[in-house]
Amino acid sequence: MIRIAFAAALALGAIVSSAQAMPLAPFGAPASDVVIPVAGGCGTGWHRGPYGGCLRNYANPAAHACPRGYHIGPGGACRGNGK
């Protein structure tokens, strides 16, 4: 029984020690430019829509068809979010 437990612990240790999904960086290391910030995979200035497509962000509220807190529902009418 002890041999089986030791073999399982050894195998688990070998599997865990070989995982390098996110290696640790040294303390105080400078930031890398390898990471590119994006919003939901769409890129800067875009966001994911309700059906998964990329939609442009608008800085001008007048550019929206409905006021804040509402969205265009079936038939083109403004409906409250969450309804």
Q: How far apart are CA 47 and CA 54, in angstroms?
A: 6
pLDDT of residue 11: 80
Q: State the pLDDT at residue 83.
A: 53
Q: How far is CA 45 from CA 60, 61, 72, in A?
A: 13, 15, 21
- How far apart CA 61 and CA 47 sit, in angstroms, is 16
Contact 65, 58 (CB under 8 A): no
- Do 72 and 65 touch, CB atoms closer than 8 A? yes
How far is 40 from 58, CA to CA, in rounded Å? 16
pLDDT along the chain (83 residues), means of 10: 86 68 70 66 78 78 73 81 70
